[in-house]
Amino acid sequence: MSDHLLWEQHCCLPLSTGADVGELARYQRPGGSFVSVNVGYAPHGAGEVLGLLENWRRRIAADERLGLAAGLDDVGAGRVAVAFDLEDSGPLEGDLGRVRQFYDLGVRTLLPTYNQRNAAGCGCLDETDDGLTAFGRALVREMNAVGMVPDGSHCSARTGLDLCEASERPVIYSHSCMRALWDHPRNITDEQARACAATGGVVGITGVGIFLGPNDASMEALLRHVDYAVDLLGPEHVGLATDYSFDAEDLAAEMRQNPSLFPESYTRWGPVELMPPEGLLGVGAALRERGYPDDAVGAILGGNFRRVAARSWR
């Protein structure tokens, strides 16, 4: 069987300059790998994000196992190619000029909202869903122009649908599971998934236990969501993004410090179970055991997200 590219569309280091970027080498594999690392979300300002980017970029460039992914030519066999994502538009601080600034520093994906309403739109935990705002639509236009990929994860259903309607380039749900299988407010509806696919986009099934089921981060739980998404959209619109946190204590602290962003639907099961990089490396073999053909395995492991990058990145 082929050694396919692995594309991890979203994972989380501790959001500090002391984070061990060497942990990303755990994704290394013969077919090559790409990893998008979160560099900030709703509570963070531009200065904090820029500080993390400066620190992490320097240390990633100095690690022979890793390499910064400025373009697709940097993604291939050998080192782990690394880019970044933002889980909220808050760090822009209302300045659309920062979209290009962050893009030039390696941020390739951005979510307009994280769980709750902001200047760009509504989040998945809001009781009222008004969708994208005028600023949110302007943000999508700027992202399209710069080459940054719009991401509907954590957004409200209407905001996600508006995102797909407003974008002239593919939209993704980088790390979201299927609500038809597990009714969690962070999961997406079939309508959202179909709208995403219609843009040429990809739904990245995540390895977070509370989104896969009752805190079940097993391979079988993840593959149930992959199977459902493939049946709904076809294998060309499904990918993987574990949302793995490399420091469980850091994740627990974030949830304690921001209770409005992490309500009972997040905390009811205690510590969140997560699929680690080593689990993700086993997905290809598990898909083959399920009867998936090799071309579909390659598409789900990395080919689909790579296609989105090829259509979007500048």
Per-residue model confidence as pLDDT tens digits over 223-256 = 999 999 999 999 999 999 999 999 877 777 777 8
Mean pLDDT of the chain: 95
Band the pLDDT of 2: cuts 50, 70, 90: low
**What per-residue confidence (pLDDT) applies to 230?**
98
* 169 within 8 A of 178, measured Cβ to Cβ: no
pLDDT at 192 over 50: yes
Domains in the chain: boundaries: 6-312
pLDDT score for 76: 87
What confidence score (pLDDT) does residue 250 get? Answer: 74
pLDDT at 176: 98
Q: Read out DSSP for 250-288? A: HHHHHHHH-TTTS-HHHHTTSSPPB--HHHHTTHHHHHH
Q: Over 90: is that where the pLDDT of 264 sits?
A: no
- If pLDDT is split at 50, 70 and 90, which confidence band does 1 have? very low
- What average pLDDT does range 283-302 have in this prediction? 98
List the one residue out of 16, 9, 8 whose CA is nearest residue 250: 16
Q: Which CATH class is domain 6-312?
A: alpha beta
pLDDT tens digit sequence for 196-225: 999 999 999 999 999 999 999 999 999 999
Predicted model pTM: 0.95
What is the pLDDT at residue 248? Answer: 74
Average pLDDT over residues 85-113: 98
pLDDT at 261 over 80: no
Strands 244-245 and 80-86: unpaired
